[in-house]
Amino acid sequence: MNSFRSLLDKVDERLGDGLEHALCAHHERRLRHLGWGEVLEPTGTEDRFGGRAPIRDGNRVDVLVDGEEALPAIERAIRNARSHVHIANWHASPDFRLTREPDAPTLRDLLAATAQRGVDVRLLLWAGPPLPAFQPTRGLVRAEQKKFTANTDVKCVLDSRERTMHCHHEKLVIVDDEVAFVGGIDFTALEGDRHDSVQHPPSRPICWHDLMTRLEGPIVADVARHFRQRWEEVTDEDLPEPKIPAKAGGTKVQFLRTVPDKTYDFAPKGEFTILDAYLRALRSARHLVYLENQFLWSPEIAEVLMDKLCAPPTDDFRVVLLLPRKPSNGADTTRGQLGRLIDADEDSPGRQLVATTLSTHDGDTWAPVYVHAKVGIVDDAWMTIGSANLNEHSLFNDTEVNIATDDHELIRTTRLRLWSEHLQLPVEEVSGTPADVVDRLWRPIAEEQAELESRGLPRTHRLVFLPGQSKRAGRLQGPLRGLLVDG
């Protein structure tokens, strides 16, 4: 029996390698044809801010962790709007409330009241899949659109220019072209509670970990220009060119996008600056790669991480992954890539990799914490936050927006806030060198909780190793999925 399983593992490994090679070759041919081929080529430098996205100086960036912090900030900005509010999202529910205050208005009523004050309110949503295979269906989206616009001055437009089996996934808000929000939070309760806090109380059916950024300064014009491009093409309504705001701080920021080719006239050959930025940053890593993401399917990303694990650039190099235990789809695909990373780590001189997930506990009560965040940090020298997952959808085929920055103090502060939340310790206790904190806290806590779980005993901490890393059939799903749906 063991020899038969070993044979199956070898067959699976060969098939997986072959399919992943075919997918990567397909992506390379596609990008070269579109004039984006250099994205996949190592530059031999550590220029994390290279590529095609412009760099804007003089910005202020606030990182808003979890919905309890992010959603009220967005509501305040909308309430204070003077000229216009522009929103683009995967989905938005009219009855969604941005705060839990007893008298909080629904999103529909908030936008209607804002428009009644003479503020132009534009809402750009994905139209839903052509076939009702998953939420939000086109019927649901059309019904929600009518609720937003009925007896209001709100303009709500549905964008159906998605590639087959893909979507418009970005989440952004622009107010008066003076402040913008970019991140991962949707204005809906579909699939989970966006209002969660860093405490992640287990009384909720599904806790939800996510981030947004609040932006001021010249970078806001880039976000506004992106919305303008999509809105004008879908509606034929001309919007004024965004004015470039005055400097608001000292942070450099790049606005990054995935815009698939053959989708919009404003980018006929697409834009793949999110992929470009991730690959540049990960290749440059010397000490730390920290990724929070909903998915980890991308073979391009996995290959860079595997190379780093097989030949660590320094003795203190560490890779920390935070992923959901059961993503909304593609669980085996993610775990298949994890299996490859684990194999690479086991073959390396030391133990560099820690792959974890979250749940929340209060005595006998517990609930999963769904990791919906899309955060990448490298060496506390580069950080990206946005809507893009690490899969073929987000890096090649969905519309997505991220921001990236090299503000060391902002990045380190953000990482420590996140590590404090996940390790359930004060910031001071997680502020040592990353390698020390990983070896002294991340790994022992995750190991201890995995041991309790394997013995059927109650867990005592929210952090645990991600279970069930598939090294077999699940690994094939990612390449197959990519080859079937990628253009």
Instruction: List the chain domain ranges.
Output: 14-54+254-485, 59-249
Q: Are 58 and 400 in contact (CB under 8 A)?
A: no
Q: If you classify domain 59-249 with CATH, what class do you get?
A: alpha beta
Whole-angstrom CA distances from 133 to 130, 136, 138, 165, 334 are: 8, 9, 10, 10, 21
Query: How far, in Å, CA of 169 to CA of 182, rounded?
Result: 12
Of the options 3.40.50.12500, 3.20.20.70, 3.30.870.10, 3.30.2000.10, the CATH number for the domain spanning 14-54+254-485: 3.30.870.10
Cβ neighbourhood burial of 24 (10 Å; 0-12, 13-18, 19+): middle
Cα torsion through 238, 244, 250, 253, rounded to 10 = 30
Helix (H/G/I), strand (E/B), else coil: 305: helix
User: Cβ distance 302 to 337 under 8 Å?
Assistant: yes
In the three-class reduction of DSSP (H, G, I as helix; E, B as strand; rest coil), residue 173 is classed as: strand
> For the CA atoms of the chain, what is the radius of gyration?
22
Q: In CATH terms, are 14-54+254-485 and 59-249 the same topology?
A: yes
pLDDT in tens, the chain (487 residues): 567 666 666 766 777 777 778 888 999 999 999 999 999 988 766 678 877 899 999 999 999 999 999 999 999 999 999 999 999 999 999 999 999 898 999 999 999 999 999 999 999 999 998 888 778 999 999 999 999 999 999 999 999 998 878 899 999 999 999 999 999 999 998 877 899 989 898 887 678 999 999 999 999 999 999 999 999 999 999 999 999 999 999 999 999 999 999 999 999 999 999 999 999 999 999 999 999 999 998 989 999 999 999 999 999 999 999 999 877 554 445 556 787 888 888 877 778 999 999 988 877 778 889 999 999 999 999 999 999 999 999 999 999 999 999 999 999 999 999 999 999 999 999 999 999 999 999 999 999 999 998 898 888 999 999 865 544 445 555 555 555 555 4
d(CA 359, CA 368): 4
What sign has the CA pseudo-torsion 405, 411, 415, 418?
A: negative
Residues 6 or more apart from 460 whose CB is under 8 A from it? Answer: 361, 449, 452
